[in-house]
C-alpha cells in the first residue's frame, strides 16, 4: 500500500517551524508590541530619560535628522534640528553664515542655540557635524542629555551628502578627501558619545529600532552582581 505524504496540517506546521526564525526577526523590525504586562520599550526609555534630551551626533550624512524625527515620533517627544534652529535665529542659511561671518562665529552661535534647546528638554535633538567637537558643548550635552553617535562608513556618507547642496565644508575640489579628513579628525571625539549606533543603508525604521534598543540597554538598571 503506497505511503501517504504528511497531512496538510502537518505540512503547515513544518512550514511554520521553518519560517519561525525569519518571522521572529521580522517582528523586531515591525515594532512588535510589548508582551502583556511588559512595559513598552518607549515607555521605559521615557521614564529613564526624565528631563534629559537625546542628542544625535555624527558627520553630515549620518542620518541624524531623518532618524531623529522618527525616533521622536516613537518616543512621543518633540524633535529639533540644531541647524534649522540656527538658521531661524540668524535669519540666514548656514552656507550664508559661513560665507559672511566665518566658521568661528557660526560655532559660537551653534553653541548658544544647543544650550538653549537642551534647557528646554526633553526632546530629540539632531546636531551639526562639528557641534560635538567643542569641549563646552560636549560638557553641556553630558549634563543635560544622552549622546548617541550615528556612525556611518565613508561610502554611505558620500552617497547621502551628494543628494544635498548645503554642505559648505564640502565645497572643495575633492569632497571625498575632505570627508576623509573630517572623519579622521572627528571620530576620536565622537567616540566620547555615550552610545554608538551604526547608520547603514537599511530602512530608517531599522536604525531607529537599533537606537531604541541601545538606549534601553544603556538607560536600564545596572546588572546585579552574582552573590
* Of 129, 128, 137, 150, residue with least CA distance to 196: 150
SS3 call for 34: coil
DSSP bridge partners of 196: 149
Binding-site positions for ATP = 61-66, 167
DSSP bridge partners of 195: 148
Binding-site positions = 61-66, 83, 107, 129, 167, 186
Binding-site positions for Mg(2+) = 65
Binding-site positions for substrate = 83, 107, 129, 186
Q: Is 67 within 8 Å of 207 (Cβ atoms)?
A: yes
| DSSP string for residues in 120-155 | T-SSEEE--TTGGGSHHHHHHHHHHEEEEEEE--HH
Amino acid at each position: 500500500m503506497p505511503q501517504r505524504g504528511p497531512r496538510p496540517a502537518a505540512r503547515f506546521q513544518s512550514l511554520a517551524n521553518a519560517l519561525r526564525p525569519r518571522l521572529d526577526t521580522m517582528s523586531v523590525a515591525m515594532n512588535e508590541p510589548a508582551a502583556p504586562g511588559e512595559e513598552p520599550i518607549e515607555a521605559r526609555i521615557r521614564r529613564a530619560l526624565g528631563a534629559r534630551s537625546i542628542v544625535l551626533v555624527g558627520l553630515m550624512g549620518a542620518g541624524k535628522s531623518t532618524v531623529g524625527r522618527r525616533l521622536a515620533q516613537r518616543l512621543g517627544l518633540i524633535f529639533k534640528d540644531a541647524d534649522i534652529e540656527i538658521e531661524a535665529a540668524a535669519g540666514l542659511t548656514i552656507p550664508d553664515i559661513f560665507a559672511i561671518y566665518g566658521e568661528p562665529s557660526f560655532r559660537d552661535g551653534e553653541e548658544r542655540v544647543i544650550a538653549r534647546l537642551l534647557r528646554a528638554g526633553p526632546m530629540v535633538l539632531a546636531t551639526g557635524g562639528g557641534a560635538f567637537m567643542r569641549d563646552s558643548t560636549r560638557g553641556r550635552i553630558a549634563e543635560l542629555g544622552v549622546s548617541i553617535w550615528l556612525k556611518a562608513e565613508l561610502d554611505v556618507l558620500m552617497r547621502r551628502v551628494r543628494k544635498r547642496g548645503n554642505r559648505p565644508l564640502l565645497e572643495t575640489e575633492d569632497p571625498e578627501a575632505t570627508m576623509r579628513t573630517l572623519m579622521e579628525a572627528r571620530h576620536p571625539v565622537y567616540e566620547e558619545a555615550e552610545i554608538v549606533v551604526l547608520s547603514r543603508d537599511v530602512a530608517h525604521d531599522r536604525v531607529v529600532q537599533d537606537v531604541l534598543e541601545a538606549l534601553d540597554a544603556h538607560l536600564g538598571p545596572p546588572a546585579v552582581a552574582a552573590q
